[in-house]
Amino acid sequence: MVGVGFDHVTKRFGQVVALQDVHFQVEGGELFFLLGPSGCGKTTLLRILAGFYAPDSGRLFFGERDVTAVPAHRRQTGMVFQSYALWPHMTVADNVAFGLRQKKLPRSVIRERLDEALISVRMEQYAHRKPNELSGGQQQRVALARAMVIRPRCLLLDEPLSNLDAQLRNEMRLEIRRLCKEHQLTTVYVTHDQKEALSIADRIAVFSRGRVEQIGTPIEIYKMPRNRFVAQFVGESNFVEGRVLGSEDDKWAVETILGILVGTGDATIAAGDRVYLSLRPEAIRLRGESVDRNCLAGQLVGVTYFGEVAHYDFLCHGTRLKVSELNPRHLHHRSDETIYANIRPEDVLLLKT
Ligand code: ATP
């Protein structure tokens, strides 16, 4: 169980800066996600980790050891690709045992490790099938077993669930977490799917244009996004521009087009700053009557019912806010009548513009 360190890593492809001064540490045994939109540099970082690309500057560490110049086949990483990349002419057992045979391990050891790997991904009954005789989820398990059987120092997963349907994706997420924790694997997992990252990560690095925007646990990233990019990319949010008037207890009063709202900001905020307020739709409550703090008057101009949740469009001083209500007992209807939206100061987040 070894940690991975990126020490000021930069990588360019011609004029494109794919990674810029990436600097962080993945702890041993951690399930760590690289999350970000298409083209932000996630796969490039994973490939640098695997040894398929060399950084232009910066270094890579496995534990205390500088592995920047160590070739891919000596790094002992196990990789699972989006396409699984199983060998079509080989059986499940041969696919999984391939890496062990390359290492020229004794037959008895190969047999033992193969059985163990197949049992751990629950594929022992399929050992003699070929990949084209398996479902997408089963192929995915074989790819995982193949990567894990060599006891990698680091398991690398590149969008491993993108070919699966929604239900199987949910199941396999939990399965991947179970396997990583059971085998205490240091795992780096690339995805652009925020739900995948929030649901199983120990920590997440959110990337944008080759840079790390924020690193934190799922709840830190969701509840305390550092900037507008993170708040927008991870979950949904309403953004309202404003100017900080001053502090009240440990909260800030902000003048906005919707009126004065009281919110929460970090130590860098000062009176006079221009900020964005981030208001999560699920943190806003609709009410029939006004309350004294953070209460907005407006009209409902859109209602969509999804069963477990209702989505509303709330119009206040010409600004449309998204509001969601979980487990709605009854629906509020579109109407010209005034209705109120209320949000707690701890759910109004001040972000620097
Ligand atoms: P996606 O989610 O779409 O796979 P990503 O976040 O993994 O995207 P990368 O594949 O790492 O992004 O690409 C980062 C940037 O580097 C992009 O602008 C991409 O076009 C560029 N890039 C990646 N690989 C190469 C390459 N081999 N040659 C030239 N440019 C490349």
Q: Is 316 near ligand 1, meaning CB less than 6 Å away?
A: no
Are 319 and 255 part of one and the same domain?
yes
- Is 44's C-beta closer than 6 angstroms to any atom of ligand 1? yes
Task: Indicate the residue among 190, 217, 232 that finishes a domain.
Answer: 232
pLDDT interval class at 313 (50, 70, 90): very high
Phi, psi of 301 (to 5 degrees): -115, 0
The finding on whether 42 has its CB within 6 A of some atom of ligand 1 is yes
Instruction: Note the pLDDT tens digit of each residue in 185-231.
Output: 999 999 999 999 999 999 999 999 999 999 999 999 999 999 999 99
Query: Are both 151 and 271 inside the same structural domain?
Result: no
Same domain, 202 and 264: no
Do 220 and 73 fall into the same domain?
yes
235 lines ligand 1 (CB under 6 A): no
242 and 280 co-located in one domain: yes
CA 60 to ligand 1 centroid distance, Å = 19
Atom of ligand 1 nearest to the CA of 53: 27
| The last residue of a domain, from among 232, 249, 282 | 232
Please name the residue that has the structure tokens 């996600």: 33
Determine the distance separating the centroid of ligand 1 and the alpha carbon of 41, expressed in angstroms. Answer: 6
pTM (predicted TM-score): 0.89
Sorting pLDDT into bands at 50, 70 and 90, what band is 81? Answer: confident
169 and 98 in a common domain: yes
- What pLDDT was estimated at residue 104? 87
Instruction: State the Cα–Cα distance between residues 346 and 147, nearest whole angstrom.
Output: 44
Residues 137 and 271 in one domain: no
Question: Whose CA is closest to 283, among 217, 218, 342?
Answer: 342
The larger pLDDT score, comparing residue 260 to residue 166, is at 260
- Mean pLDDT (the chain) is 92
Alpha carbons 228 and 343: distance in angstroms, whole number: 19
Query: Looking at the 3D structure of the chain, how many domains does it have?
Result: 2
Nearest CA among 20, 49, 10 for reference residue 32: 49
The pLDDT, as a whole number, for residue 1 is 78
* pLDDT recorded at residue 342: 95
Q: Are residues 265 and 319 in the same domain?
A: yes
Q: Structure tokens of 66? A: 């500088």
- The answer to whether the CB of 3 is under 6 A from ligand 1 is no
- 13 CB less than 6 Å from ligand 1? yes
pLDDT digits (tens, 9 = 90+) for 324-347: 999 998 888 888 899 999 999 999
d(CA 270, CA 278): 17
Counting ligand 1 atoms within 8 A of each CB, the residue from 11, 34, 38, 44 with the most, and so the one to mutate, is 44
* CATH code for the domain of 133: 3.40.50.300
Residue 123: domain span = 4-232
Alpha carbons 247 and 352: distance in angstroms, whole number: 16
Q: Are residues 220 and 319 both part of a single domain? A: no
Q: What's residue 244's pLDDT?
A: 96
The domain boundary, picked from 232, 265, 299, lies at 232
